[in-house]
Structure 1
């Protein structure tokens, strides 16, 4: 009984910690989804992202690489693109490339891991993103008839909205309408991630991972279900590199960690379908292992070293980051509870009306 209580406490703590890490980036992702919904013209999606071809995959990848969105922040943005007409290939390309890197994470990578890794990360994100789109297009070829259709053009002129109305629509869509669509699967994914977290020891990476292909595969399997954003993964990678783990395995962690987690598995599978999920995972696994082996085989070890000022650079941000995480978690949980309560009230209204009519 005491052991069960201990595990329950650890599960709750890990669940809150995962929420704290996710919430700021998820709220940012929801906000970006709202911006794209309101301000990104449908003609842009129709022209650059709707077709199931390589060009759309390249366009989606280039759109996503500079954005500072993690694997959870990219989910609402990517799925919103799909719901607004982007093809499955373009959507998968966007959601594969975007969380691996961003302007912020490239700068942090340069500061902590040096110039070679700062160059390699966006290049690998570009290649893996395009591959993800191409593979998705191939695997989902039989599903082309189910692809999203853009809303038909309205012949009469739509009422022109003011800038204030547009911004109100951004927040309404992002934090109510769209969050309502993904909240259930987001909670399920986070609960599963917390469960995995208590099963995986804290020193797993440094004690169990060896060099070579086995170490690369082990770090791949360990990092894929967990949540870590592209920028936050860099200090962890720096510690692992200083402990003697190979640069190839470090790249695998920097790719698979930010690009995947249990929440992304559930949401992509539920929204885009199982074939798209298979293409998404297959590309990340193949690309991360392949590039990891290439780095370990052909690039000199001297290129990859940890800068000494890592701890000094990261220490000062901990205080404001902590309060940002706590505030974001409270806001996110409050929004989800509000949506859940409102849905239940709306469900009960027809039942109450039927009872009144019967009386």
Structure 2
């Protein structure tokens, strides 16, 4: 009975401590979502240079995308012309950190980890993207060298037999300029009828966005912040809170101390985080439970970096869209750089005498304020809504229709 009571206390203590920061992070994340234009990613990530890789990490870091929602965005960026390196940088930085995850990290793990975590995430994304760009350039250079002789022999413009082909002008690559007017006629923006009409197809999207009233914009903002984002993270956030409370209640602190501060902890945390389907926000409460169990701050950072950026779905998409070589670089660089930052975190925590575990113990023993209690109740209601109404009821409706 005592263990159940202690488990309940730890569970609600984690919720009440993280709820104000989570709600604030969701609110700011939704604001970033609507402030940043949708075509900004396609504009700045298309170049195959170092600047594009850095932009991919810096743009992806604050954007509120979890490990599941970042996949379609990364695919859209890639198919719109972004390089493999910039896509990889964006794909790592976005799920590893964000406004909401930094806020909850500050609330549960303190300011030290709240500063180290985004720096490590952005650096990991940039290093991985630069490595992909290095091998991508080598591959393109080798392809250019191998294609030069065959390209000269198969040039249809310089071939003598191409002059005799007069019956099929459409198939001749030298007469492609004559076919351009036919292609431009399809565009509604270039047609004469569209010029006469004020409601052209090119301006339809801009007018629809501009026609929204302030109340509708606020409604969309809150809808995305407190419904869509909560829906993306509610399940795994709840699982993380339950596991964290379980570890804090039933696992003694000396259980993991034998290997929690050694180099083996990095490998174990990486093996735990790579296949796990978890986002940056929901992985933080789980990291708190590991901290109470005796795991070092550096090993926790390895879990916080490897967990959100990798899962089975993400690795499959990377292999399909970017290739096997990029997948190998993706995993090797991510794990290697996370190990380096893990060691550096342990060194800095020991050098500056940063007691994360003592700090967390003090925060957990603090009295619950009215604001944290209200925010905790609101967060529980939102999680219950998205888990029951949006998932359970939708499944029952689909089954009834079928």
TM-score norm. by structure 2 comes to 0.53
Matched, 1:58 2:54: yes
Mapping for residues 65-214 of structure 1, pairs under 5 Å:
67=62, 74-75=66-67, 78=70, 81-82=73-74, 85=77, 88-89=87-88, 90-98=90-98, 102=102, 121-134=117-130, 154-157=201-204, 158-159=207-208, 160=210, 161-174=212-225, 182=232, 187=235, 201-203=251-253, 206-209=256-259, 212-214=262-264
Task: From 284, 294, 299, give the equivalent of 1:229.
Answer: 284
1:109 & 1:187 partners in 2: Cα distance? 21
1:329 & 1:208 partners in 2: Cα distance? 36
Q: Point out the structure with max Rg over C-alpha.
A: 2
Tell me the equivalent position of 2:183: none
Task: From 329, 345, 351, give the equivalent of 1:302.
Answer: 351
| Alignment CA distance shift 1:287-1:304 (3 Å) | farther
2:135 & 2:376 partners in 1: Cα distance? 38
Matched, 1:258 2:304: yes
Matched, 1:287 2:283: no
Structure 1 unaligned runs (5+)? 1-8, 142-151, 352-359
Tell me the equivalent position of 2:381: 330
Structure 2 unaligned runs (5+)? 138-187, 190-200
Q: 1:188-210: CA deviations, max 9, x gaps?
A: 79659967986994536643316
1:197 & 1:235 partners in 2: Cα distance? 7
1:109 & 1:195 partners in 2: Cα distance? 16
Once the 2 structures are TM-superposed, how far is the Cα of residue 328 of structure 1 from its aligned partner? 0.7
| Alignment CA distance shift 1:198-1:330 (3 Å) | same
2:244 & 2:36 partners in 1: Cα distance? 38
* RMSD of aligned residue pairs (Cα, Å): 5.7
| Alignment CA distance shift 1:168-1:322 (3 Å) | closer
2:130 & 2:337 partners in 1: Cα distance? 13
| Alignment CA distance shift 1:125-1:324 (3 Å) | same
Q: Find the residue that maps to 1:155 and give its secondary structure.
A: coil
1:98 & 1:23 partners in 2: Cα distance? 16
> Is 2:259–2:265's contact at 8 Å kept on the other side of the alignment?
yes
TM-score norm. by structure 1 comes to 0.58
Once the 2 structures are TM-superposed, how far is the Cα of residue 235 of structure 1 from its aligned partner? 10
Q: 1:272-310: CA deviations, max 9, x gaps?
A: 67778876654442112123446778x795334439983
Matched pairs, number: 312
| Alignment CA distance shift 1:264-1:163 (3 Å) | farther
| Alignment CA distance shift 1:301-1:52 (3 Å) | same
Once the 2 structures are TM-superposed, how far is the Cα of residue 38 of structure 1 from its aligned partner? 3.1
